[in-house]
Structure 1
Amino acid sequence: MQLPRPPWSGRLGPAQRAVADGLTAAALVAVATVVAWQSAGPHGSRWVDAVVFAAAVAGGAMRRGRPRTALALTVAVAVLATGSGSFPAPWVAVAFVMYAVPQRIARREAIWLLVGSVAAAMVGLAGLLDAVWARPGPNRVAMLTEILLLLTVAWTIGYAVRQQALHTAGLREQEAREAQARLAEARRAMSEERLRIARELHDVVAHTLSLIAVQAGVANHVAAERPDEAGRALLSIEETSRDALREMRSMLGVLRAGPLPASGPGLDDLDELVRRTADAGLVVDLQTTGARPELPTGLDLVAYRIIQEAVTNVLRHAATDRCRVTVGFRPDALTLEIADGGPGAPAASGGHGIDGMRERVDMYGGTFTAGPAPDRGFTVRATFPLTLKAAA
């Protein structure tokens, strides 16, 4: 996982950040040196302080890109300069580099680098202090304690900053994944809504145009010999087209305000469907069995649409003037059966009517079959489970 940069880091390039880090390290060492001189008085060569200062600048500049090299350089210089009068200024530079080590190196290796730096300090205090500077110097235990505290605190702060950065990056990735999931869900809902609208329009248009086509054919056939019957057919066409326009306007009008509502015609409107179909020349024998329960609005609409589509297919393809519609209410299921005895082509020829009916049934976890009857005709069956959850 890539660590996020601080808000100000985006304003600086790599070279500018290296220069800023080098100047910061130099400033810290300079302040520490002045404090050391003020407390103990300067002793030792000035060139040692210059070397420490240069090492601090170089190590600070390299701590982001090459933290291992920067740490090795500053630790080596700090060990050699431990006995100078500027202690603990050399180790301040090491601590400045150590702060970046756990942020850019794996934790296990970073811990070993911390241990190695402390061990190098112990070696320097044990042998080099007397050998190089030819004097016993201050208390070695106090110096080692200061070094250990300085490096450990720097390492711990750097590690804590890394963990916080990782936590923040994780939260951002989680937010991004959640945003993508919400976007995918919105797209899926939009796709389902478009599909639902397409189904509704298909049912309304296909059923209405089938009725109008049949009635127009009747009117054209009897116009000369039976003008009264032709007039009734034209009146039925007018009524059917007005009803279809009213339903389509209601359906399309809500698209400006939001999703298409589930409300619409239901099983209570089957008598009107039977009447209009009879005007087109198809007699529908409607049978209802069982006590009707309270149906969800969406299921009521789907059941009506399936019957409407099946009856329309009979009108268009079955070459018969009669069909049977059976609506069965049971405590655990709603069953629909639309059957005809015609010799015509299967009701599934062409179009998407059968597929649309199957998709509607699948939405409610039901079962759907459509195919030729054993003797003759075509039968459509749909079964919807009725559960407490579905009826809520």
Structure 2
Amino acid sequence: MRDTPGPWRGQRRAGFGAAVIVALCFHVFGAWNLAGAVPPQGDLLAYVLLLAGPLALAWRRRAPITVLVVAAAAAIGFAALTAPRWTYAVASLIALFSAVKAGRRGPALAVAAVGWLAWVLVTGPFAAPLGLAPAARTDARAALLVAAGLVVTVLLGGAAKARAEHFAEIMKVRAERARAHDEQERRQASEERLRIARELHDVLGHHLSLINVQAGVGLHLMDSRPEQAREALSAIKTASAEALREVRAVLGVLRPEEEAAPRQPALGLDRLAELTADAGLPVTTTTSGERRDLPAEVDRAAYRIVQEALTNVRRHAVPGATARVTVEYAADELRLSVRNDGAAVSGGAAASGAARAPEGNGIVGMRARAEALGGTLRAGPEGGGGFVVDAALPTAAVPARGGA
């Protein structure tokens, strides 16, 4: 299992040194009163065996089984030279605990079993043949106590391993949740930016196009028909005020909730008459079916689609063109149709003028609005030289998707 980065790594490094120091203390102080008990010719070997186990613990993370073998062999050898004491087994128990915690339970159990059997044989039946001092010999009670200590150590190591795995799983779940949360926030921010960009495009495109048309009319009629020029200027003033109001409404969503401006009346088909009256060209509106309240998303999308379609007519149709808006309340959907007839244009002029509506951001935005609600939108030229936008928006069950 990988080491956990951050402060846990420092704590583990500190634990390495602590284990070595603790084992050294038990081994050294446990052998303090054995001075003179070791034969002179065995002094150097005894000291090497006494220190080998604790010092080997420094590598127990990298090679847990090797360290366990070294610690067990050193403990058995030192006990055979002096006298069996539990303090000499501290390094071996720490090594066994570390090996089990590291996931090497099988090999660790094998080494522990072999080591225990070797210690029992060396300090028991084979003590006399090996010439060990009487103090180095052990009995059945001591053998059972050592076996119990090994079993407890294995259980503790397994519990520590399970706890470490549980902690690692918790950290993994937290990291995945954090990534999912960040991804959701990025996706929502992207959808909100797209929605705001689409709203601004629709608002500014419609009203600026109207202002441009009325400004041209005013300039053209300023000297010959000042009254009509004044009407054009009034239309420009109204359109610019409406544009500012709608832009403020769109940008209001960017403010904190407590600072948000008072909400403007919602955009929807209830304002269709107002929309067509300010379209800047003659518009005929037809409504069929039983009129009913629509979901807010559908109502707003329908208004924006009609608004953008009329803006495209005003931009691309030739002078004198008229538009027809049809709204049909079907059983489970709302059907919209915006057509311009290309009137006052002959043949080729119509084909190059009224029917020329490139698939720019306007049509892409209208189609995106329809598809976000599970609907469809078709836009293209008609045979008579005009252009048509047909949309179908489901009203029975609106998908919970952003950007509508």
Shift of residue 196 of structure 1?
Answer: 0.7
1:214 partner letter: V
2:38 partner letter: S
Q: Is the 8 A contact 1:3 1:166 kept in 2?
A: no
List gaps (5 residues or longer) in structure 2. Answer: 343-349
Out of 154-163 and 264-273, give the one that drifted further: 154-163
Find the residue that maps to 2:128 and give its secondary structure: helix
Alignment of 1:159-308 (within 5 A): 159-257=158-256, 264-277=266-279, 280=280, 282-308=281-307
Q: Cα distance 1:255–1:191, how it changes in 2: closer, same or farther (>3 A)?
A: same
- 2: CA distance, partners of 1:76 / 1:345: 96
Q: Which of these residues, 334, 349, 365, is aligned with residue 356 of structure 1?
A: 365
The residue number in structure 2 matching 1:366 is: 375
Q: Cα distance 1:59–1:80, how it changes in 2: closer, same or farther (>3 A)?
A: same
Find the residue that maps to 1:224 and give its secondary structure: coil
Shift of residue 202 of structure 1?
Answer: 0.6
Shift of residue 43 of structure 1?
Answer: 9.5
- 1: CA distance, partners of 2:201 / 2:129: 98
The residue number in structure 2 matching 1:23 is: 21
Shift of residue 191 of structure 1?
Answer: 0.9
List gaps (5 residues or longer) in structure 1. Answer: none
Task: Report percent identity of matched pairs.
Answer: 35
Shift of residue 85 of structure 1?
Answer: 2.4
Q: Does 1:73 find its partner at 2:70?
A: yes
| TM-score normalised per structure 2 | 0.83
The residue number in structure 1 matching 2:38 is: 45
Q: Is the 8 A contact 1:358 1:368 kept in 2?
A: yes
Q: Cα distance 1:162–1:31, how it changes in 2: closer, same or farther (>3 A)?
A: farther
Q: Does 1:321 find its partner at 2:330?
A: no
The residue number in structure 2 matching 1:334 is: 334
Q: Is the 8 A contact 1:262 1:298 kept in 2?
A: no
- 1: CA distance, partners of 2:114 / 2:70: 13
- 1: CA distance, partners of 2:264 / 2:296: 6
1:248 partner letter: V
Shift of residue 374 of structure 1?
Answer: 3.9
Q: Cα distance 1:95–1:214, how it changes in 2: closer, same or farther (>3 A)?
A: same
Aligned residues: 381
1:382 partner letter: A
Out of 76-85 and 328-337, give the one that drifted further: 76-85
The residue number in structure 2 matching 1:102 is: 100
| TM-score normalised per structure 1 | 0.86
Question: CA RMSD, aligned part only?
Answer: 3.1
Q: Is the 8 A contact 1:114 1:152 kept in 2?
A: no
Out of 311-320 and 43-52, give the one that drifted further: 43-52
Q: Does 1:57 find its partner at 2:54?
A: yes
Q: Is the 8 A contact 2:290 2:329 kept in 1?
A: yes
Q: Is the 8 A contact 1:289 1:327 kept in 2?
A: yes
Find the residue that maps to 1:130 and give its secondary structure: coil
Q: Is the 8 A contact 1:3 1:169 kept in 2?
A: no
Q: Is the 8 A contact 1:318 1:346 kept in 2?
A: yes
Out of 124-133 and 146-155, give the one that drifted further: 124-133
Q: Cα distance 1:191–1:365, how it changes in 2: closer, same or farther (>3 A)?
A: same
1:360 partner letter: R
Q: Provide, for residues 89-128 of structure 1, a one-character-per-residue CA deviation record: whole Å limited to 9, x for no partner.
A: 3323311221111233534433433344334345435543
Q: Is the 8 A contact 1:361 1:384 kept in 2?
A: yes
